[in-house]
Amino acid sequence: MTTPRELYDLQVIDHRIDGIDTERKRVEQRLAAGVNRPDLTDEAERHSSQALTIADNVHSRREEVDRLQERLTGLESRLYSGNTSRRDLSAVQREVDSTRYQISQLDDTILEQEEAQRTHEEAARNARTQMQDAEDQWQGAETELNGRLSELARERETAESERQSLAATLPGADLQRYERLRRNKAGTAIARVDNGRVCLSCRMTLTTNVMRQLRDKSRQVPCSACGRILYQP
Average pLDDT, the chain: 93
pLDDT score at 216: 93
Q: Name the helix (H) or strand (E) containing 197.
A: none
What torsion do the CA atoms of 74, 79, 80, 84 make, to the nearest 10 degrees? 110
Arithmetic mean of pLDDT, 139-156: 95
pLDDT score at 143: 94
Tell me the domain boundaries of the chain. 4-25+171-231, 34-166
**Around 85, how many Cα atoms within 13 Å sit in the side-chain half-sphere?**
2
The span from the CA of 232 to the CA of 193, in Å, is 5
For residue range 212-226, list pLDDT tens digits in order: 999 999 999 999 999
The span from the CA of 67 to the CA of 169, in Å, is 100
Contact 178, 8 (CB under 8 A): no
* DSSP conformation class of 228: P
Name the 3-class secondary structure at 189.
coil
Cβ count within 10 A of residue 11:
24
Q: Where are the alpha helices (DSSP H) in the chain?
A: 4-33, 41-80, 86-167, 172-184, 208-213
Res. 34: pLDDT tops 90 = no
Contact 187, 203 (CB under 8 A): no
- Report the predicted TM-score, pTM, of the whole model to 2 decimal places: 0.68
Fold topology of 34-166: Helix Hairpins (1.10.287)
Arithmetic mean of pLDDT, 9-36: 94
For residue range 78-98, list pLDDT tens digits in order: 888 877 677 778 888 899 999
pLDDT score at 38: 79
Paired strand residues for 205? 198
Q: Name the helix (H) or strand (E) containing 191.
A: strand 190-192
Residue type, 178: Y
Res. 35: pLDDT tops 90 = no
Res. 196: pLDDT tops 90 = no
pLDDT score at 81: 80
Residue 1: pLDDT band with limits 50, 70, 90: confident
Name the 3-class secondary structure at 177.
helix
What is the greatest pairwise CA distance in the chain?
130
The span from the CA of 149 to the CA of 158, in Å, is 14
